[in-house]
Amino acid sequence: MRCPFCGWTESKVIDSRAAEEGSTIRRRRECVSCARRFTTYEVVEQIPLMVVKKDGRRTLFERNKIMDGVLRACQKRPIPLSTVEELVEKVEKEIRNTMEREISTQQIGEMVMQYLKDIDQVAYVRFASVYRQFADINNFMQELEGLMTTRVSK
């Protein structure tokens, strides 16, 4: 680490602390040459994750898009925001744990629906209707019947 004051390349770490909920490490350093102190932040470098759309286009993964879709599905439902945030966190963690550099929107949608089904069935059906693009009422009814059979078997 180069000193910002004198440019010397050696410094000693005086203090280290977790910052920003553990995602960053804050280090207080002292230059060996000029004895001035400065702060550095260490962040884990994440591999860029690409999302493959249905038409083959690729875009950068954006967690906010998942959050927006789930919030829309949960609108006017008794679901706390913290539950929605946990769902999005689980989906993102599951995606990143695959260690793949690309993931399809279909895979993301299926993960979201898996978690939503356990949280709220109305939100699940809302999300599924947009995600699966139901063409008519028959497709919608098939999804509801599937939901009913899994609910009865539990």
The pTM of the full predicted model, rounded to 2 decimals, is: 0.65
Percentage of the residues of the chain whose pLDDT score is greater than 70: 94
Rounded Cα distance, 21 and 12, in Å: 24
Percentage of the residues of the chain whose pLDDT score is greater than 90: 62
Higher pLDDT, 78 or 135: 78
Q: Tally Cβ neighbours within 10 Å of residue 9.
A: 10
Band the pLDDT of 151: cuts 50, 70, 90: low
Phi-psi region of 110 (alpha: psi -120 to 50; beta: other; left: phi over 0): alpha
Rounded Cα distance, 86 and 122, in Å: 18
Domain definitions of the chain by residue range: 11-43, 50-153
pLDDT of residue 98: 86
Rounded Cα distance, 78 and 120, in Å: 9
pLDDT of residue 152: 63
Count of all residues that appear for the chain in the document: 154
Band the pLDDT of 153: cuts 50, 70, 90: low
Window from 29-33, 70-74, 107-111, 125-129 with minimum mean pLDDT: 125-129
Express each pLDDT in 104-140 by its tens digit: 999 999 999 999 999 998 998 889 888 777 766 777 7
End-to-end CA distance of the chain: 58
